[in-house]
Amino acid sequence: MLLCVEDLRVGYGPIEALHGITFGVREGEIVTLIGANGAGKSTTLMSIMRLPPPEAPVYHSGKMIFEGRDLTQFSPHHVVSRLGISLVPEGRRIFGNLTVWENLKIAAYAHEDRQEIQKKTKRIFGLFPRLEERRHQAADTLSGGEQQMLSVARAMMTGGRMMLLDEPSMGLAPFLMYELFHVLKEINQQGTTILLVEQNARIALKYAHRGYVLETGNILLEGDARELAKDEKVKKAYLGE
Ligand SMILES: Nc1ncnc2c1ncn2[C@@H]1O[C@H](COP(=O)(O)OP(=O)(O)OP(=O)(O)O)[C@@H](O)[C@H]1O
Ligand SMILES: [Mg+2]
């Protein structure tokens, strides 16, 4: 396993959001964690990124191992720069008043190496030609779909070993959603392992190799994505069938 999470418990003050979840992601996989509002999806990703919310005291126990290394020993900065894990956060969080290119440049702060930046930029613009056309445009003038692409592109500027995505399909029209997931698949095929958190189980299970169902802080089901999509409980609760 590239990432191994074992018995992870996370609480905000007196409220426990994750009640001891165990899951893993193998090198080269796309793994999805599906769950409804409040299931603990963002909490899981924030824990891996070592990013506690500033406003609440966080209680935390369990193991998180990445390539044999204990994640809890790494600062948020080093999770990105040393381990190569990057996050596409919920709600995009790009800098609206900066241009596309400026957003990408800021994300590249961890690289000293100009050649490395050029190589990454070339790969990104290869996958997102629309961002290249709009590289001097302010990010808040992009469409919602283009902004989501910029958020993914920004994550590609750092890391590269593993990408975590928090509900990338949110707010996108179906055809844009499919376009984005198609690119995610390509990013995965180019060697980046993906952990994808989604409320939209239909698209997540279509693109993932394996999946886990997270319900109010517990993992209820796990398995091959195709098998999960056929599961009666999943169909009823998450696919509206
Ligand atoms: N900063 C915080 N302070 C207190 N409680 C929090 C905080 N962040 C999350 N929680 C609580 O933890 C639980 C899990 O929240 P989380 O944001 O991880 O869910 P989610 O699966 O990402 O939901 P959504 O689909 O709505 O984004 C919820 O009950 C939520 O109220
Ligand atoms: Mg969330």
pLDDT in tens, the chain (241 residues): 999 999 999 998 888 999 999 999 999 999 999 999 999 999 999 999 998 776 666 788 999 999 999 999 999 889 998 999 999 999 888 999 999 999 998 888 766 678 888 888 999 999 999 999 999 999 999 988 899 999 999 999 887 899 999 999 988 888 889 989 999 999 999 999 999 999 999 999 999 999 999 999 999 999 999 999 999 999 988 888 7
Q: How far is CA 234 from CA 34, 55, 171, 186, 214, in A?
A: 10, 34, 22, 27, 11
CATH of the domain at 40: 3.40.50.300
State how far the alpha carbon of 145 is from the alpha carbons of 68, 130, 154, in Å: 36, 11, 14
The answer to whether the CB of 53 is under 6 A from ligand 1 is yes
Query: Is 0.85 topped by the overall pTM?
Result: yes
How many residues does this entry show for the chain? Answer: 241
Q: Considering the domain boundaries, does residue 189 fall inside one? A: yes
In a domain, 134, yes or no: no
User: Is 148 inside a domain boundary?
Assistant: no
From 42, 47, 88, 220, the mutation candidate for ligand 1 (largest count of ligand atoms within 8 A of CB) is 42
136 belongs to a structural domain: no
Residue 84, in any domain of the structure: yes
* Bridge partner residues of 219 (DSSP): 214
Residue 106 lies in a domain: no
Q: Whose CA is nearest to atom 31 of ligand 1?
A: 38
**Residue 56 CB–ligand 1 contact under 6 Å:** yes
Give the chain's largest Cα–Cα span. 51
Q: Which domain holds residue 215?
A: 3-89+161-238
Q: Is residue 233 part of a domain?
A: yes
Q: Does a structural domain hold residue 115? A: no
**In total, how many domains does the chain have?**
1
